[in-house]
Amino acid sequence: MRVASGEWRDYAIDFRPGMAIFSIFRHTAEQPLFAIAKVPGGGGYMVYNGPRKLAHGDSLEDVLAVFDRKLKLLLG
């Protein structure tokens, strides 16, 4: 859905010692908007926005739910 709407335009898959990372980019020349990491050995899955951890869970379905959240307007 976000690729079709043009919000996400590029991706990369990296393999590092002890982890695999799928990075999502708005533009190729920028830092990734999000990174989804899989850590083997019981580490599960994590979603990052830069250095900030947005989600952590045992299944990919659990952590990808972070993208389904609706924004709320806070008045105050």
Total domains in the chain come to 1
pTM, rounded to two decimals: 0.78
For residue 43, tell me if it sits in a domain. yes
Residue 38: give the domain boundaries.
10-65
For residue 4, tell me if it sits in a domain. no
pLDDT of residue 71: 58
For residue 75, tell me if it sits in a domain. no
For residue 3, tell me if it sits in a domain. no
pLDDT of residue 74: 67
Inter-CA distances, 72 with 40, 41, 69, Å: 34, 36, 9
Q: Is 42 left (phi over 0), alpha (psi -120 to 50) or beta?
A: left
In tens digits, what is the pLDDT along the chain, a chain of 76 residues? 677 777 788 889 999 888 999 999 988 778 999 999 998 888 899 999 999 999 999 999 999 999 887 656 666 6
